Structure 1
Amino acid sequence: MQAIAIKPQQATSLSAVSPIWSEWLCEQGLTRLIQHPLLVALERNEVSLTTLKTLLIQHSHYSRHFTRYLCALMGQLDHPEDVLALMENMREEMGVDGNDRITHAELYQRTLRVLGVSTADEAALPEAAAMAQTMFSHCQNSDALVGLAAMCLGAEAIVPIIYHPILQALRGKGYGEEATEFFSLHIEEDEDHALTMLAIMKRLTHGDEKRHALATQIGRELIECRIAMFDAIWRQSLTFAVAQAEQRDKGGRFSSADFWRVPSRLQVHLPDRLSHSQVMQVSQDNDATFSSQRKHKVHIVDLPSHTISMTVGRLDVTEATRLHRHNYETLIYVMQGEGYSRIGDRNVPWRAGDAFYVPVWAEHQHVNSGGGECVYLACENAPMLQNLGGIALREELGHTGV
């Protein structure tokens, strides 16, 4: 059995361990934990935001009882000095170290709030509930060694392995200190807590091989409980990913048969392309076709939005669009020039810096009445109607004459 100790900065590599926990944690169990696909994906920021939120919620179902575990454990200790040693951990958890710090539980809840979720959003997975129950049961055991092994080997000693990947994922998704403080704080502090518990465990085993074997077995049991919870979360993540892939294969369209796929929360999917460089400078076939149909220059913003569109329209001096109408709303911002728009039976004047609104199915026409080119930005909800079943309509009503 290899000696184990975890360095926070290299928590995902077994080669980073050092001989502090000699013969207390087995290499096989630790390797399975370190190499768990969920933790590896978190470290690489390759999990969806939905999966990260699920992990945090499920972990909360377990970790929110931490002070209860600790109180139950201290109740089994015979020596006052051991109780006092663990009280330091309790003081930090409760935020009563004299520095006006909030409790660790509140820090964790703040993380959830920043991510827009709460523990109530999801029921505890059976695996998360089992881990919480196993920990509490061991901490209530009249043999203090059992609770110490569960808390030390199954929680405190492996905190960097669990929290470092989560911290990397949160930072990778752009979250700041409000969301990450809980995890960075525990990575820094929990090694000392583990060492305190280890010192008590060594006294309680008295060199007895059977007692030592009991402690290591309890540690393995808690690690396996945690792996089981990670397995469940990872399976859920893969199931959702498969459903998303199937939906893409169907062209992104849903039917009555897909009703069961409605998720409980939104999931972030970052497309490969998030920008369209130099919209007005780069000529595209679609721009030419659209401009020819509309009888004036139009540049289509090519971005993967499913609900709104954006175009840049241009009108030369005295030029006007064709009279037309459509069943999607339009917001227009004038970037350059001046003119007016006929909207229904009204004339709406505008100049650079103005914005105006075109209601659904209102006849309208835009006219450049200034002395230079007019450039305007139009945002419309046509893609939403197109994706609802191809019900976006546009009708040309007249020529471009003014």
Structure 2
Amino acid sequence: MQAIAIKPQEVTSLTGISPLWSDWLVEQDLTRLVQHPLLVALARNEVSLASLKTMLIQHSHYSRHFTRYLCALMGQLEHAEDVLALMDNMREEMGVDGQDRITHAELYQRALRVLGVSTADEAALPETAAMARTMLDHCQNSDALVGLAALCLGAEAIVPLIYRPILQALEHKGYGEDVTEFFKLHIEEDEDHALTMLAIMQRLIQGDEKRHALARRIGRELIDCRIAMFDAIWAQSLVVAVAETGHREQASRFSSADFWRVPNRLQARLPERLSHSQVMQASDQHDATFSSQRKHKVHIVDLPSHSISMTLGRLDVTEATRLHRHNYETLIYVIQGEGYSRIGDRNVPWCAGDAFYVPVWAEHQHVNTGGGECVYLACENAPMLQNLGGIALREELGPVHA
């Protein structure tokens, strides 16, 4: 029997994954994944080299068994066509796809050698071992749908979300093709592998909602396992940072137990990144996510400030922001254009060169009434509230302007 052919679709999801996965992967789970502090810190180059090495070693403990997962899964498939379809994936993994490439496992080990580490340097964390064990158990399940869901939804479909931040961290730190090739290959190729598995899954399910729900549940289970693994890696990375620097990394939180850490003098600690070049020209996943939520173009200034945020908002002719409110203060400076802002029960007119204030929790909306694009700079104390315990709030109220 022929599997259903599926073509990749344009990425429109807030998490950067093709919309064809919306019936299989829960957006909330994907958001938890891409917003995990470990992946965010990797993408922003805010982890030490030691922490990056820990991430790669732990991932190796899981991924080095990939051919075992795939072989176990193929052993449960009934149709030769399905086995042959997955053999393409196997040939790429083994480096025997006719392109004279070394195996993916060898590419990964080469990257570790260049970084000066090996899998033997650190034992697998309990959460890493649990991730590998869970994947293998599912791939060995006599119901092939279970293994397909685990390997497709819990690995191949989400690989770009995981490998892209790792690749960014490696490139930030100046590593070349001998280290980055493994991650580039998988970002480019793994969606095709996922689509092959998805086609087989669809044929096995044949519209049975209970079977569909089973596949979704297995996918969620594997994402939960992966997040638990990232939690453990992130916790270990913070421990490593304390040992190396004597203080906690920026992303950690202080509690009552840290009272003894209060110093008697200030010490300047310069982060690696002190500038964000060409803010409005750069394309960023977080910009796309926030712009989609706000229904207009927003560019987030990416700087390591702990108390103040800065964004650039843009409104096309006649465009307005959504009516919204938040529990942090806002100062806005209009760079270009003219319009007004509804703040509470008042309309505040503005034009280029003006600045205005939005109080805490006041409903507000910005409206472009000029003949061209409006551009404004917004400064807010949201990071301060986020660092005080995640108490920053924003509520979207509606799209209509007065």
Indicate if the aligned counterparts of 2:60 and 2:119 stay in contact, CA closer than 8 A.
Answer: yes
What is the deviation of 1:19?
A: 1.7
Over 3 Å counting, the alpha-carbon distance change for 1:271 and 1:194 in structure 2 is closer
Indicate if the aligned counterparts of 1:6 and 1:16 stay in contact, CA closer than 8 A.
Answer: no
Indicate if the aligned counterparts of 2:156 and 2:191 stay in contact, CA closer than 8 A.
Answer: yes
Classify the secondary structure of the residue corresponding to 1:20. Answer: helix
Indicate if the aligned counterparts of 1:58 and 1:124 stay in contact, CA closer than 8 A.
Answer: yes
Over 3 Å counting, the alpha-carbon distance change for 1:44 and 1:6 in structure 2 is farther
CA distance in structure 1 between the partners assigned to 2:86 and 2:8 by the alignment: 21
Q: Kindly report which structure 2 residues correspond to 1:226-245, keeping only aligned pairs within 5 A, or say none.
A: 226-245=226-245
Q: Kindly report which structure 2 residues correspond to 1:257-336, keeping only aligned pairs within 5 A, or say none.
A: none
Q: Kindly report which structure 2 residues correspond to 1:375-390, keeping only aligned pairs within 5 A, or say none.
A: none
CA distance in structure 2 between the partners assigned to 1:272 and 1:41 by the alignment: 13
CA distance in structure 2 between the partners assigned to 1:12 and 1:20 by the alignment: 10
Corresponding residue for 1:42? 42
Q: Does 1:61 align with 2:55?
A: no
Q: Kindly report which structure 2 residues correspond to 1:120-139, keeping only aligned pairs within 5 A, or say none.
A: 120-139=120-139
Indicate if the aligned counterparts of 1:157 and 1:194 stay in contact, CA closer than 8 A.
Answer: yes
CA distance in structure 1 between the partners assigned to 2:38 and 2:12 by the alignment: 12
CA distance in structure 1 between the partners assigned to 2:22 and 2:33 by the alignment: 18
AA in 2 matched with 1:99: Q
What is the deviation of 1:232?
A: 0.5
Indicate if the aligned counterparts of 2:15 and 2:30 stay in contact, CA closer than 8 A.
Answer: no
AA in 2 matched with 1:216: R
Indicate if the aligned counterparts of 1:42 and 1:169 stay in contact, CA closer than 8 A.
Answer: yes
CA distance in structure 1 between the partners assigned to 2:12 and 2:47 by the alignment: 16
CA distance in structure 1 between the partners assigned to 2:26 and 2:157 by the alignment: 13
Corresponding residue for 1:205? 205
Over residues 34-63 of structure 1, what are the superposed CA-to-partner deviations in whole Å (9 max), with x where a residue is unaligned?
100000000011110011000100000000
Q: Kindly report which structure 2 residues correspond to 1:91-106, keeping only aligned pairs within 5 A, or say none.
A: 91-106=91-106
Indicate if the aligned counterparts of 1:89 and 1:193 stay in contact, CA closer than 8 A.
Answer: yes
Over residues 261-293 of structure 1, what are the superposed CA-to-partner deviations in whole Å (9 max), with x where a residue is unaligned?
xxxxxxxx99879xxxxxxxxxxxxxxxxxxxx
Over 3 Å counting, the alpha-carbon distance change for 1:53 and 1:6 in structure 2 is farther
Query: What is the TM-score when the length of structure 2 is the normalising length?
Result: 0.58
AA in 1 matched with 2:45: N
What is the deviation of 1:129?
A: 0.3
CA distance in structure 1 between the partners assigned to 2:75 and 2:41 by the alignment: 39
Number of matched residues? 247
Corresponding residue for 2:185? 185
Classify the secondary structure of the residue corresponding to 1:22. Answer: helix
Query: What is the TM-score when the length of structure 1 is the normalising length?
Result: 0.58
Point out where structure 1 has 5 or more consecutive residues left out of the alignment.
Answer: 249-268, 274-402
Corresponding residue for 1:18? 18
Question: Alignment RMSD, CA only?
Answer: 2.4
Indicate if the aligned counterparts of 2:15 and 2:34 stay in contact, CA closer than 8 A.
Answer: no
CA distance in structure 2 between the partners assigned to 1:66 and 1:188 by the alignment: 18
Corresponding residue for 1:90? 90
Corresponding residue for 2:159? 159
Identity score, percent: 80
Classify the secondary structure of the residue corresponding to 2:84. Answer: helix
Q: Kindly report which structure 2 residues correspond to 1:139-158, keeping only aligned pairs within 5 A, or say none.
A: 139-158=139-158
Point out where structure 2 has 5 or more consecutive residues left out of the alignment.
Answer: 1-6, 249-268, 274-402
CA distance in structure 1 between the partners assigned to 2:23 and 2:214 by the alignment: 12
Over residues 50-106 of structure 1, what are the superposed CA-to-partner deviations in whole Å (9 max), with x where a residue is unaligned?
110001000000000000000000000000000000000000000001121100000
Indicate if the aligned counterparts of 1:93 and 1:104 stay in contact, CA closer than 8 A.
Answer: yes
Over 3 Å counting, the alpha-carbon distance change for 1:136 and 1:270 in structure 2 is farther
Over 3 Å counting, the alpha-carbon distance change for 1:105 and 1:7 in structure 2 is farther
CA distance in structure 2 between the partners assigned to 1:136 and 1:101 by the alignment: 26
CA distance in structure 2 between the partners assigned to 1:48 and 1:153 by the alignment: 30
Over 3 Å counting, the alpha-carbon distance change for 1:272 and 1:221 in structure 2 is closer
Corresponding residue for 1:31? 31
AA in 1 matched with 2:44: R
